[in-house]
Structure 1
Amino acid sequence: MQISDFLLPKDKVAYIASAATMLEAMEVLENCHYTAIPVIDEEGKYVGTLSEGDLFWKLKQTPGLTFDNLNQVKVHEINRRIHNESVSIQAHLGDMLHLAADQNFVPVIDDNGTFIGIIRRRDIIEYYTTNITD
Structure 2
Amino acid sequence: MNIAYFLTPKNSVAYLYDDSTFRQGLEKMRRHGYSAIPVIARDGAYKGTVSEGDFLWHLLDAEKTQDAPLSMKDTEKLHVRDILRNNTYPPVRITASMEHLLSNALNQNFIPVVDDLGKFIGIVTRKDILRHLSKSTDFSTAPQLQKIV
Alignment partner, residue 68 of structure 1: 73
Distance 1:113 1:77, change over 3 A: same
Structure 2 unaligned spans of 5+: 140-149
Structure with the larger helix share: 2
Q: Are the aligned partners of 1:59 and 1:66 in contact in 2 as well (CA < 8 Å)? A: no
SS class of match (2:104):
helix
Deviations 1:73-131 (A, max 9, x none): 00111143761010000111211111111111100000111000000001101111122
Larger Rg: 2
TM-score computed with the length of structure 2 as normaliser: 0.84
Question: Is the alpha carbon distance of 1:18 and 1:54 closer, same or farther for their aligned partners in structure 2, counting shifts above 3 Å?
Answer: same
Q: Which residue of 1 aligns with 2:30?
A: 30
The AA in structure 2 aligned to 1:27 is: E
Partner of 2:129: 124
Q: 1:113 to 1:81 in 2, by over 3 A?
A: closer
What are the equivalent positions in structure 2 for 1:69-108 lying under 5 Å apart?
A: 69-80=74-85, 83-108=88-113
SS of the aligned residue for 2:72 comes to: coil
Aligned-residue Cα RMSD (Å) equals 1.5
Q: Is the 1:3–1:90 contact (alpha carbons within 8 Å) kept by the matching residues of 2?
A: yes
% same residue? 38
TM-score between the two structures when normalised by the length of structure 1: 0.93
C-alpha deviations, 1:6-59, integer Å up to 9, x for none? 000001111100000000000110011110001101221111110001001111
Change in Cα spacing, 1:81 to 1:44, as seen in structure 2 (3 Å) is closer
Is the 2:48–2:84 Cα contact (8 Å) retained in structure 1?
Answer: no
